[in-house]
Amino acid sequence: MLFSLLLVAAAGMGAAGVPAAPRAQAAAATAPLDRVVPAPASVRPGGDPYTLTDRTGIRIPGGSAEARRIAGYLAGVLRPSTGYALPVTTRDGDGIVLRLGGRGTAGLGAEGYRLSSGSRAVTISAARPAGLFHGVQTLRQLLPTAVERRTEQAGPWRVAGGTIADTPRYAHRGAMLDVSRHFFTVAQVKRYIDELAMYKVNRLHLHLSDDQGWRIALKSWPRLATYGGSTQVGGGPGGYYTKDDYRAIVRYAADRYLTVVPEIDMPGHTNAALASYAELNCNGQAPPLYTGTSVGFSSLCVPKKVTYDFIDDVIREIAALTPGRYLHIGGDEAHSTSHDDYVAFMDKVQPVVAKYGKTVIGWHQLTGAHPAKDAVAQYWGYDKTGAAERAQVADAARNGTRLILSPADRAYLDMKYDKNTPLGLSWAGYVDVRRSYDWDPGSYLQGAPADSVLGVEAPLWTETLKTSAHLEYMAFPRLPGIAELGWSPAGTHDWGAYKERLAAQGPRWDALGIDYYHSPEVPWPAR
Ligand code: TNX
């Protein structure tokens, strides 16, 4: 208690322009073992801390290629700020130890890890590489925030003593980025991936096509990208990914244990495709490109045979670029498609996804058709969504459709925080930080069995967002809350404790150059 009062006093002095005493700074630099987002499943603090020094090595006993890659990633984070060499070696011993497989790791599953820290070593063990990687993210957060800077900083570099054992609540912890309304370059997408990886997000859903732009080059229908990708909201130049660009994104994500889920939205949200190929239109006439922000005015031509030749080609080429299991076919806001046409369309398209070896994800409107046996529906309703629509999704869930929860008034990162937020939309209301965090995915949709929930996802629609700074302002600080809902056991859920842990992330974002929204709901440390 006295200790934390001293810290508060030190922080207060810093804010007033008086340098904090070096001893207080050093003490403040050792984060308690449970000050991690997402909250770990179990934390047992105790014993001596571990201190990194210029003699510390990163050890990968056994030395698999993947453990070596993860060690290289960790070294890449730690070397610039500590100034230490941190050699990676396969010899066992003290230091930072990344242990893959072996005794006691089987129960950690595909993504879990154990981290134990004491005077001689900080050891991360996992059954699988993804677990090691997530453990490395925890280790980052246990080190002083200055570790995130890219120039040499003063230590000491201490990790509190004790043990964390951690596994995720849900298999799907996603983030969606809309690269159609505004195009984002490969470098911008990579930056977002790096940010997602810090919070153990494991799926990146890319919204690759919409009325305003088609963003992936396909061999079979080249004008989709070259013409359909040539603009964006507001009429800027747009852009698209070549297949090599797209493979680079998929690889970069995979190296950080995120699987890319590509979305081609249909039958609505298709103006860019309809503008590129006249024959896809029922009347045979291509509409102009679209740079506004309305929705619901476009539809593929359900009765035409060429529509399904087109879809077969598109899904075949996208599936071939996709190592992951899922392919998202959209299906939302098809207001220009009759209900019968919508059902007929989905009956024809879902088997094409299966034919190319993938599993369908669709926005929850898919539950109004006949979802395929293994299909996943992404729920994006909000407080004003009608009872009948909710019941339809819950019914589907009881019949085996699994759910990804993205309630728009909780998980939509493009909703304004409040009336003063300069970016974003507000059709689902304002979504402040507490509102985005304070709900339980397991009991959220009445009537849907808890085990139908595959996980959560935070969509970021980009009608109003043009730069990485814009994305970051909307995603931070809400994204880590959705990531925590996906990862942490329900028993850790507590706004009061969460906002303290979240506050401690602020200086990390400052160090990383992430310009986040300084929500007054969060007790950020004085800068
Ligand atoms: C609804 S969410 C949409 C998108 C918009 C978004 C803006 C969904 C499946 N459709 O087309 O970009 O709202 O918040």
Number of domains, the chain: 2
Of 330, 304, 305, the residue nearest 318 (C-alpha): 330
The DSSP secondary structure of 56-114, one letter per residue, reads --EE-TT--HHHHHHHHHHHHHHHHHH-----EESS-SSEEEEEES-TT-GGGTTT-EE
Cα torsion 73, 74, 77, 81: sign: negative
User: Which numbered atom of ligand 1 lies nearest the CA of 463?
Assistant: 12
pLDDT-based confidence at 28, cuts 50/70/90? Answer: very low
Tokens of 79: 């070397």
pLDDT at 13 over 90: no
Helix segments in 321-358, DSSP class H: 339-355
Residues 217 and 152 in one domain: no
What is the per-residue pLDDT across 488-497, written as a single tens digit (0 to 9) for each? 999 999 999 9
Q: Is 19 contained in some domain?
A: no
Among 206, 212, 332, 389, name the best residue to mutate to test ligand 1's pocket (greatest count of ligand atoms within 8 A of Cβ): 332
What's the CA-to-centroid distance between 135 and ligand 1, angstroms?
34
Residues 142 and 237 in one domain: no
What's the CA-to-centroid distance between 242 and ligand 1, angstroms?
25
Tokens of 332: 């939302």
Domain carrying residue 80:
6-12+31-166
- Residue with CA nearest ligand 1 atom 9: 332
| Residue keyed to tokens 């000491």 | 156
pLDDT at 5 over 50: no
How far, CA to CA in Å, does 420 sit from each of 182, 270, 279, 425, 519? Answer: 23, 33, 45, 11, 12
Q: Is 86 contained in some domain?
A: yes
Q: Is 20 contained in some domain?
A: no
Q: Is 513 contained in some domain?
A: no
Q: Is 497 contained in some domain?
A: no
362 burial (CB, 10 Å; 0-12 / 13-18 / 19+) is: buried
Residues 64 and 206 in one domain: no
Residues 421 and 362 in one domain: yes
Amino acid at 258: L
Residues 108 and 161 in one domain: yes
Task: Residue 239: give its domain's CATH number.
Answer: 3.20.20.80
Residues 367 and 258 in one domain: yes
What is the per-residue pLDDT across 401-426, written as a single tens digit (0 to 9) for each? 999 999 999 999 999 999 999 999 99
Residues 94 and 242 in one domain: no
Residues 193 and 287 in one domain: yes
User: Which numbered atom of ligand 1 lies nearest the CA of 378?
Assistant: 9
Pairing of strands 259-263, 203-207: parallel
**pTM of the entire structure?**
0.94
Q: What is the mean pLDDT of residues 97-101?
A: 96
What's the CA-to-centroid distance between 138 and ligand 1, angstroms?
33
Per the CB < 8 A criterion, the answer to whether 4 and 35 are in contact is no
Residues 145 and 253 in one domain: no
Pocket of ligand 1 (CB under 6 A): 295, 332-333, 363, 380, 412, 414, 425, 461, 463
Can you name the residues that pair with 458 across neighbouring β-strands? 175
Strand segments, DSSP code E, in 236-319 are 259-263
- Residue with CA nearest ligand 1 atom 4: 461
- Residue with CA nearest ligand 1 atom 2: 380
What is the per-residue pLDDT across 354-391, written as a single tens digit (0 to 9) for each? 999 999 999 999 999 999 999 999 999 999 999 999 99
Amino acid at 297: F
What's the CA-to-centroid distance between 341 and ligand 1, angstroms?
21
Residues 177 and 162 in one domain: no
Per the CB < 8 A criterion, the answer to whether 411 and 453 are in contact is no
Residues 142 and 190 in one domain: no
Strand segments, DSSP code E, in 131-252 are 157-159, 162-166, 172-178, 203-207, 209-210, 213-214
pLDDT-based confidence at 7, cuts 50/70/90? Answer: very low
| Residues noted as catalytic | 333
- Residue with CA nearest ligand 1 atom 8: 332
- Residue with CA nearest ligand 1 atom 10: 332
pLDDT at 153 over 80: yes
What pLDDT, on the 0 to 100 scale, is given for residue 125?
A: 97
User: Which numbered atom of ligand 1 lies nearest the CA of 293?
Assistant: 12
Task: Residue 35: give its domain's CATH number.
Answer: 3.30.379.10
Residues 219 and 239 in one domain: yes
pLDDT at 16 over 50: no
What pLDDT, on the 0 to 100 scale, is given for residue 435?
A: 98
Among candidate residues 148, 166, 184, the one where a domain is terminated:
166
Strand segments, DSSP code E, in 112-230 are 113-117, 121-126, 157-159, 162-166, 172-178, 203-207, 209-210, 213-214
